[in-house]
Amino acid sequence: MRAFKSFSGILLLLVAAALGIALIWLPGMILDQYETASSLGGIWGTVYLVLVGTGFVLVIGSIGWTLWRLWGRSVTKKLRRERQNKNPSQLSVEQMTREVDDNLQSIEDLGDGAGDSPQIQQELRPLVGQVEHKREQQTLEIVAFGTISSGKSSVLNLLAGRDVFATHVRGGTT
């Protein structure tokens, strides 16, 4: 979040600097172009001004479009990070489904980006297949990890509703 704010601040500073330079530089440039067009006279002067104006509009438009795309992507990235940082219990079923779809799409994009590396594609295909199979079967895998004797087996036994994992006061039983 802090990096996003500093990026926005730097971008705002650059835009302000560009506007300041434009306000100093543009009037003189416009006068020079008008004098050049006047010296050409008649229709050629008008054609010259139209061409210069069109080029100016294209340059400003492309700069604006690029900044708009950068800003849009940074907002999208920020929203995706916020969504990914949510606790899964805070997500609706639709949001969880979309999260899995997005993750599978990211894996597919990674595999496509690896185009020249069949090894990476071979490693990704079975993993995607496993996720899709678990999704179809609607199975859930719970993984518990932690230090010795921290209560992992006890919690899993409580979740299962029966003694599935061996527990003992002495560590390292399971």
What per-residue confidence (pLDDT) applies to 65?
92
End-to-end Cα, the chain, rounded Å: 41
Residues 6+ apart with CB under 8 A from 7: 74
List the pLDDT tens digit at each of the 174 positions of the chain.
455 566 677 878 888 888 888 888 888 888 888 888 888 888 888 888 888 889 889 998 998 899 889 888 888 888 878 877 777 777 788 888 888 888 788 777 776 665 567 777 777 778 788 878 877 887 677 788 888 878 888 888 888 788 888 877 776 666
What's the whole-model pTM score?
A: 0.44
Q: Please name the residue ranges forming H helices in the chain.
A: 2-40, 42-84, 93-113, 118-137, 152-160
